[in-house]
């Protein structure tokens, strides 16, 4: 069965500093036309980092759209076209926490909301994690570092304290594969 929707036209609705919103007209597989609102995003990287004591490095950050702080793995958008997602993951760990890593290993990639957005997230696991970062958060970003062991992670998942999709994916991977 052909499921392809073909773009006929695209009209910018909003062009921002890191995302754009377009109204696209598409041709459906049955030949009819439909409208699609699409959020274009440069992509992002996130990092699952564990200390030598097997504690996960998380950040608590205020998320304005939700009106509350959220517990998350360190993450951030790709800053420029063609930026290496692995470099982004290492940078975000060092900017958002007091930790650095020797390297990262790609675990998985996924789309956050494919019904209306093209944001692709690269999930990495950090290797050689240790304290020592000298980087700082962006000037409009405030984070609190939180270290949680396996049982505390399970409790936070069970009680709904962790609600962020990228963090849920990363922690489930860790719990199932370690």
Which pLDDT score, from 0 to 100, does residue 86 have? 98
Residue 135: pLDDT band (50, 70, 90) is confident
**Distances from the Cα of 154 to the Cαs of 30, 44, 75, 145, 162, in angstroms?**
47, 26, 21, 18, 10
DSSP state of 171: H
Query: Which residue, 142, 175, 143, 137, is CA-closest to 156?
Result: 175
| pLDDT tens column, 33-49 | 999 999 999 999 999 99
Which pLDDT score, from 0 to 100, does residue 155 have? 96
Q: Please, which residues bridge with residue 21 across strands?
A: 14, 39
Radius of gyration for the alpha carbons in the chain, expressed in angstroms and rounded: 18
Residue 136: pLDDT band (50, 70, 90) is confident
Active site residue 83: no
Res 105 pLDDT > 90: yes
Rounded distance between C-alpha atoms, residue 53 and residue 75, angstroms: 22
Which entry of 5, 92, 95, 139 is annotated as an active-site residue?
Answer: 139
Rounded to 5 degrees, φ, ψ at 68 are: -160, 165
**Are 92 and 75 a contacting pair, CB within 8 Å?**
yes
CA dihedral 106, 123, 98, 77 (to 10 degrees): 120
Give the rounded distance of the alpha carbon of 177 from its chain centre: 20
Rounded distance between C-alpha atoms, residue 128 and residue 131, angstroms: 10
| pLDDT tens column, 45-84 | 999 999 999 999 999 999 999 999 999 999 999 987 788 9
Which pLDDT score, from 0 to 100, does residue 97 have? 96
Lowest mean pLDDT, pick from 91-95, 135-139, 140-144? 135-139
């Amino acid at each position: 069965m052909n499921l392809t929707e073909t773009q006929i036209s695209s009209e910018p609705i909003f062009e921002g500093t890191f995302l754009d919103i377009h109204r696209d007209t598409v041709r459906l597989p049955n030949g009819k036309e439909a409208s699609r609102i699409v959020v274009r995003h440069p992509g992002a990287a996130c990092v699952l980092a564990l200390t030598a004591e097997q504690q996960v490095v998380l950040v608590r950050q205020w998320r304005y759209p939700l009106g509350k702080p959220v517990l998350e793995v360190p993450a951030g958008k790709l800053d420029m076209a063609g930026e290496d997602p692995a470099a982004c993951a290492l940078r975000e760990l060092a900017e958002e926490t007091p930790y650095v890593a020797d390297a990262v290993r790609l675990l998985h990639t996924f789309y956050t909301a494919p019904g209306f957005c093209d944001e692709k997230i690269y999930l990495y696991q950090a290797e050689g994690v240790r304290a020592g970062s000298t980087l700082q958060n962006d000037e409009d970003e405030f984070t609190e570092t939180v270290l949680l062991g396996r049982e505390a992670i399970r409790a936070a998942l069970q009680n709904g304290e962790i609600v962020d999709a990228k963090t849920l994916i990363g922690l489930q991977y860790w719990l199932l594969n370690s």
